[in-house]
Chains A and B, each alone.
Chain A
Amino acid sequence: MSLRSLWTVRQAAGEPLAVVRVRDLHTAVVGPRDAWGRKHATQPVVISAELHFSRPFEASVAGDNVTAGDTVHYGTLSKLILACVERSNEHVQTRIAAGAGAASGTSGSTEETVDLRVLLEMIWIVLTGRNVNGEDAAPEAKPLLDLARLRFMSLTVTLPKASLLGEGVSLTAANVFPPHLASLSMYGLSLKIHKLRVPTLIGVNANERTAKQFVVTDVEIDRFDYYPDLFCELERIVVKVMFLSSLAILFLFSRTIIIATTV
Chain B
Amino acid sequence: MEKSAFDTLEALGDYLAKAITREFKPNPKELVAGEEGWQMIISMAKPTAVPFAENPIVEMRVAAVP
Contacts and interface: CB of A to CB of B under 8 A. Distances in A.
A203 interface: yes
| Residue of A210, A238, A248 most packed against chain B (CB within 10 A) | A238
A226 B34 contact: yes
Interface residues of A, number: 46
A204 B10 CA distance: 12
Given A201-B2, A213-B48, A262-B63, A234 B24 contact: yes
A3 B36 contact: yes
Contacts of A241: 15-16, 19-20
Interface stretch (A19-27, A69-77, A251-259): A251-259
A255 B11 contact: yes
B45 to A, nearest CB: 4
Q: Looking at chain B, what size class is its interface with the partner chain?
A: 35 or more
A48 interface: no
A221 B7 contact: no
A222 B40 contact: yes
Contacts of B1: 209-210
A210 B3 CA distance: 10
A222 B41 contact: yes
Contacts of A234: 20, 24
A205 to B, nearest CB: 9
Contacts of A245: 4-6, 12, 15
Nearest to A216: B45
A200 interface: yes
B31 interface: no
Contacts of B39: 5, 221-223, 260
B48 A214 contact: yes
Interface in B1-43: 1-9, 11-12, 14-20, 23-24, 26-27, 34, 36-43
A238 B16 contact: yes
Contact of A204 (B8, B18, B20, B37): B8
A258 B39 CA distance: 11
Given A215-B46, A257-B62, 4 more contacts: A202-B8, A215-B12, A253-B18, A255-B14
Interface of A: 3, 5, 200-204, 208-210, 213-226, 228, 230, 233-234, 237-238, 241-242, 245-248, 250-251, 253, 255-260, 262
17 contacts: A200-B12, A214-B47, A215-B45, A216-B55, A217-B42, A217-B45, A218-B43, A219-B40, A221-B39, A222-B40, A222-B41, A224-B34, A226-B34, A234-B20, A246-B5, A257-B14, A260-B62
Interface of B: 1-9, 11-12, 14-20, 23-24, 26-27, 34, 36-49, 55, 60-65
10 A-B pairs with least C-beta separation: A260-B63, A250-B5, A220-B41, A201-B4, A218-B43, A216-B45, A204-B7, A246-B4, A223-B38, A241-B19
